[in-house]
Amino acid sequence: MKIIFVNGCFDVLHPGHIKLFQYAKSLGDYLIVAIDSDLKITGDKGLNRPIFPLEDRKFILESIKYIDVVHTFDSKEGLEDLIESIKPDILVVGSDWFHGEVVGREYAKEVKFFDRVGEYSTSRTIQGFSYR
């Protein structure tokens, strides 16, 4: 079985997220998605985030047909420990991390980068940006 791993906040879902999940699932048999805890998102993105609490985000993600299981993490170290314990075949990350630190990369057999879809962005959606 080929295990694929993706992580992120996934606070306000948009078509770019679904394309990411679709792509990641196409690479293997079992897609694991890990999401940041509410406390981690608030620390990373500010007091107005997340928009949706962890339980809601987890429920929504578990309802997406491409995703097999959803895990949560509270810190960079927690994410690294999770990836180390799973040892995925492929770790899929956004291409904006191509020259950045990819947490857990040493525990995956391969890292693949996914390009942003159009102008979709959770932050832009929250700011009221129209994609029309």
pLDDT tens, per residue, the chain with 132 residues: 999 999 999 999 999 999 999 999 999 999 999 999 999 999 999 999 999 999 999 999 999 999 999 999 999 999 999 999 999 999 999 888 777 789 999 999 999 999 887 776 777 776 776 666
Tokens of 7: 């992580």
| Share of the chain residues as helix, strand and coil, in percent rounded to the nearest 5 | 40, 20, 40
Q: What is the DSSP letter of 66?
A: T
**The whole model's pTM is what?**
0.91
Of 71, 68, 110, the C-alpha closest to 91 is 110
